[in-house]
Amino acid sequence: MRITNDDALLLYHSDIGLVGMLANVVRERKNGNKVFFNRNFHIEPTNVCVFSCKFCSYSKLYKNREDGWELNLEQMLDRVRAYDGIPVTEVHIVGGVHPKMDVHFFAQLLKSIKELRPDLHIKAFTAVELDYMIKKSKMTIDEGLKYLHENGLDSLPGGGAEIFDEEIRNKISADKCTANEWLYIHEEVHKLGMHSNATMLYGHIENYEHRINHMDRLRQLQDRTHGFNTFIPLKFRNKDNDMSDVKESTLIEDLKIMP
């Protein structure tokens, strides 16, 4: 039987060994003893960002962009050329939300990558990046996603989900797309025949109920579309950001979510 939200809460309060054993039973039931992976490399176009998420230790605000980096098209294509003759299967493209790097700039990047490596799967742009660049280009979300897909976008990473609970989300990342907007973008991506990934930022000011609500909303979308490839829990780190007063989760807490 499928577990309920109450079951999930019970498991969070249960012995970690039991949770791990149950998770392994499900894993073997679904995949046997197989493990799947791909060979990918990353391109980070910029760490300059218009948003100021309190947990972020990566980005530089646009007004302070002299401290960051901004790659041009040719520099990013050089990253692809560096893998000529190497059997990589995927390029993963994510970065800050830069106001000058619009949907047309990235469509040209996608198209150029496909010209260099037609066989390379392009997994690119979080829902946060897409929400900003598409709306800034005066397109609807559907129009923008279709445009990028036609130029080479194959799938989406899962970043930007953070925690869906609006109260918590407003405290840690109030100025970027909402939970409903994140879920809508992923659902529209699935409708176009693409797959995506899902994440959850844990171990900060959220509680177990917030985590369960987050995973339940992902599960509801997966029931409708079957479009998610993976779920990736991301551990909150308290260095070099505006939440340094929040203690990081313990190893036991990490193990509870990793299964």
Residue 29 lies in a domain: no
Find the domain containing 214 and state its range: 37-257
Chain segment 168-216, per-residue pLDDT in tens: 999 999 999 999 999 999 999 999 999 999 999 999 999 999 999 999 9
62 has a pLDDT exceeding 70: no
Examine residue 15 and state whether it is found in any structural domain, yes or no: no
Q: What angle do CA 224, 214, 250 make, to 5 degrees?
A: 140
135 in a domain, yes or no?
Answer: yes
| Per-residue pLDDT tens digits for 7-22 | 999 999 988 888 889 9
Domain total of the chain = 1
Instruction: Assess if residue 24 is contained within a domain.
Output: no
CA angle 140-144-148, nearest 5°?
175
How far apart are alpha carbons 107 and 126 in whole angstroms? 15
Query: Residue 113 maps to which CATH number?
Result: 3.20.20.70
Q: Is residue 23 part of a domain?
A: no
Residue 18 lies in a domain: no
Contact at 8 Å (CB) between 180 and 173?
no
Q: What angle do CA 178, 201, 220 make, to 5 degrees?
A: 60
Query: Which strand (E) or helix (H) includes residue 6?
Result: helix 5-12
- Higher pLDDT: 2 or 223? It is 223
